[in-house]
Amino acid sequence: MDRAYATLEIKEMDEDSGTITGIASTPATDRMDDIVLPEGAKYQLPIPLLWQHNHGDPIGQVTEAKVTKKGIEIVANVSRGVTDEIDRYWKLIKAGLVRGLSIGFRGLEVEQIEGSWGVRFKEWEWLELSAVTIPANAEANIATVKEYAAKPAATGTGKDADSAKGAKSPGVTGNQRKPISLTPKEGRNMKTIAEQIAAFEAKRAASQARMEEIQDAAVERGESKTAEEKEEFDNLKAEVKEIDGELGDLRDLEATKAKAAKVVTGDKSDDASQSRDYRAPVRVKAAKSAPGVEFARLARAKAISRLDSEPAREVAKRLYGEDSPVTGILTKATVVGGESTSSNWAADLVGDETSVYADFVEYLRPMTIVGKFGADGVPALRTVPFRTPLISQTAGGSAYWVGEGAPKPLTALDFSRTTLDELKVATISVVTEELLRKSSPSADAVLRDSLAAAVAEKIDQTFIDPAVSASAGVSPASITNGVSATTSTGNDADAIREDIRALWATFVAANNPPTTAAYVMSSSTALALSLMQNPLGQPEFTGINMRGGTLLGVPVIASEYLSAVSAGGYVALVNASDIYFGDEGGVNVDMSREASLQMLDNPTNNVDGTATSMVSMFQTNSVAFRAERILNWSKRRSSAVALLDEVNWGLPTP
């Protein structure tokens, strides 16, 4: 615990009311070479009056405090008659055995005193005032000004760490470890270990010489040391012991640094200076942005760069600062600024997991059904590379028992060959130039969400909707396409359990392992299940909520994009290990403000051209962002999915 020191004096005591009136006059420097400015005190009356800085030993309150040029004038009341201990303390104060006051404070504004090891407390928070014992030395009126740590005690008892361990917090007379103050050379502070070692050695020599002087004086008188000499001698002896410990630590540190020292390279004085003065750089870790935001910022910076013919790096620096990840990426890359003739300004935005590109993919992943596989206890899909033949066995062979001399029968094995081609899901999101130029975090989030939401919706619908069939070279079939569904038997708890048994019967009959199974259902179905209660008012199905969870111990993936039909929704039981999944791992983004778009979710014209209404981006001050993600999937076996339809679980029976 840090300690500073100041002169404090009790001026008057009212024995009848238990009132102490005193003044604290802060010296130019205290025994730690620190300065505590009285006018910098921040406090709120009443202030606790403690005994010897012990938080568990309050004896009264400071009711008045006034900051003057002389110091802080205080009036404190001792709560006599509350406990026998407080009455005993009051008697000690009246008898003059405890004559000091000590301020406990927390520094708010501190600055280093030039040419000294001390600091100046320009502003400080006054936390408590304590009655403390005056030390038996020449500076009888010196009392501690105690600075507390900024954080509260971590013991949970309301006491400081020493009190929590059973040790009483000492007053000024306690045996406290006091740092040894060294006086640096005039005009500068000591910076090197060698300088500190030299200063400690000089301090030790001076203390040792003074000890010899005191002892010689006693020998010459033919008597033992006086009380004052004994105290000074003991203090010097303790100081020498402390210095020896510090010297040992410094020499060990010096030896460690010598072993780790770098060899000076180069043949010029500048090279030597650079090697000698090397300092490890200070790195400040910036707060991490929300997932996917840095990707949106990168796309936004490049778009504004093209709109304004300004280098993308300067745009990022102006919007997000010199040290932002976006500025760093644009600094490393060679960026062609503001060219209106090229529409393909953005390269494939693919990077490692620490890049802003992968961060956007990670932001998009939990928004989709395919992204939830392999996370939060859900089994992972079977990841495969694109355009690589995948050989799977569709029918096994048989073995036979044969007799001696009998011919061995043959058996046939059936295999299938599957290849995942690169297919892409794309979206075009339109934002206004006004939104694009706004330098607010919400603008970044709007751009991020507009790019992600449409991609997530299309991926989910294509992945799970039974009505989605494959389109050669365009999109894959859903994993439920062509699966014969079992019809739900009802909406109550018993019917739901019967439906689940029927679903599992189909799943297990196809030799699907239960350990790699997961349910896929709509968010509304998951919510309805979580709201069901048994007759005792308890949840009928624990572990499930509208975001997923588990249903009877099996992981659940919930999606808000799972299409519902008029008769009810779907619930699929998926063998994750039997679903091939190819994912390039990145996203491609382009932008344009010269294009004219069909503002439809079902555009009519293709490369052949069909008449339709168009909207000009230039005319409407808008910018179109096109995001594409390359992925594909396929079932390893047609029986990898069991399906339940017309599901209205938890809803009232019509």
Nearest to residue 488, comparing CAs of 506, 502, 508?
A: 502
Other CB atoms within a 10 A radius of the CB of residue 589 amount to 23
255-271 residue pLDDT tens = 887 777 666 555 555 55
Residue 602: pLDDT band (50, 70, 90) is low
- The token pair at 48 is 């606790």
Pick from 118-132, 299-313, 454-468: least confident: 299-313
Determine whether 448 is exposed, middle or buried from the number of CB atoms within 10 Å of its CB (0-12, 13-18, 19+).
buried
- The token pair at 626 is 């096109």
- What is residue 349's predicted lDDT score, i.e. its pLDDT? 36
- What is residue 575's predicted lDDT score, i.e. its pLDDT? 93
- What is residue 6's predicted lDDT score, i.e. its pLDDT? 43
Q: Which of 151-155, 446-450, 535-539 has the highest mean pLDDT?
A: 535-539
60 against 150, higher pLDDT: 60
**Domains of the chain, residue spans:** 3-164, 193-254, 424-440+451-600+617-647
Q: Tell whether the model's pLDDT for residue 137 goes beyond 90.
A: no
Pick from 176-190, 234-248, 533-547, 586-600: least confident: 176-190
- What is residue 384's predicted lDDT score, i.e. its pLDDT? 82
- The token pair at 46 is 């009443």
- The token pair at 32 is 């730690």
Residue 617: pLDDT band (50, 70, 90) is low
Cα(12)–Cα(113) distance, integer angstroms: 35
Cα(370)–Cα(204) distance, integer angstroms: 72
Cα(188)–Cα(228) distance, integer angstroms: 36
Q: HSE-up of 312 (CA within 13 Å, CB side)? A: 24
Cα(650)–Cα(545) distance, integer angstroms: 13
Q: Tell whether the model's pLDDT for residue 550 goes beyond 70.
A: yes
Residue 508: pLDDT band (50, 70, 90) is very high
Cα(28)–Cα(289) distance, integer angstroms: 48
| Pairing verdict, β 579-583 and 382-383 | parallel
Residue 202: pLDDT band (50, 70, 90) is confident
Using only C-alpha atoms, the chain has a radius of gyration, in whole angstroms, of 40
207 against 113, higher pLDDT: 207
42-55 residue pLDDT tens = 888 899 988 887 88
Name the residue with tokens 């038996």. Answer: 136
Residue type, 634: S
- Phi/psi of residue 73, each to 5°? -85, 130
Q: Tell whether the model's pLDDT for residue 495 goes beyond 90.
A: yes
3-state secondary structure of 106: strand
- What is residue 642's predicted lDDT score, i.e. its pLDDT? 93
- What is residue 506's predicted lDDT score, i.e. its pLDDT? 92
68 against 542, higher pLDDT: 542
Per-residue DSSP letter, 138: S
CA 419, distance to chain mean position in Å, is 42
269-313 residue pLDDT tens = 555 555 555 454 444 444 556 656 666 777 777 777 777 777 877
403-435 residue pLDDT tens = 888 887 777 666 666 777 888 777 776 767 776
**In the predicted model, what is the mean pLDDT of residues 175-196?**
58
**Cross-strand bridge partners of residue 185:** none
Cα(344)–Cα(336) distance, integer angstroms: 11
Residue 364: pLDDT band (50, 70, 90) is low
- What is residue 145's predicted lDDT score, i.e. its pLDDT? 40
Q: Which of 438-452, 478-492, 559-573 has the highest mean pLDDT?
A: 478-492
Mean pLDDT of the chain: 73
Cα(449)–Cα(106) distance, integer angstroms: 46
360 against 245, higher pLDDT: 245
Q: Are 552 and 507 in contact (CB under 8 A)?
A: no
306-352 residue pLDDT tens = 777 778 778 777 777 777 766 776 665 543 433 333 343 333 333 33
Q: Tell whether the model's pLDDT for residue 10 goes beyond 90.
A: no
* Residue spans of alpha helices (H) in 222-279: 227-259, 269-276
**Cross-strand bridge partners of residue 5:** 144
**In the predicted model, what is the mean pLDDT of residues 80-102?**
83
Q: Determine which helix (DSSP H) or strand (DSSP E) holds 383, and give its type and residue range.
A: strand 382-383
Q: Tell whether the model's pLDDT for residue 138 goes beyond 60.
A: no
- What is residue 351's predicted lDDT score, i.e. its pLDDT? 39
**In the predicted model, what is the mean pLDDT of residues 523-529?**
90
Residue 652: pLDDT band (50, 70, 90) is confident
**What percentage of the chain reaches a pLDDT higher than 90?**
11
Using a CB cutoff of 8 Å and minimum separation of 24, what contacts does 330-338 make?
Answer: 330/298, 330/301, 335/302, 335/305, 335/311, 337/305, 337/306, 337/309, 337/310, 337/311, 337/312, 338/305, 338/306, 338/307, 338/308, 338/309, 338/310, 338/311
The pTM of the full predicted model, rounded to 2 decimals, is 0.45
Nearest to residue 614, comparing CAs of 629, 624, 628?
A: 624
- The token pair at 185 is 């050379």
- The token pair at 290 is 């929300």
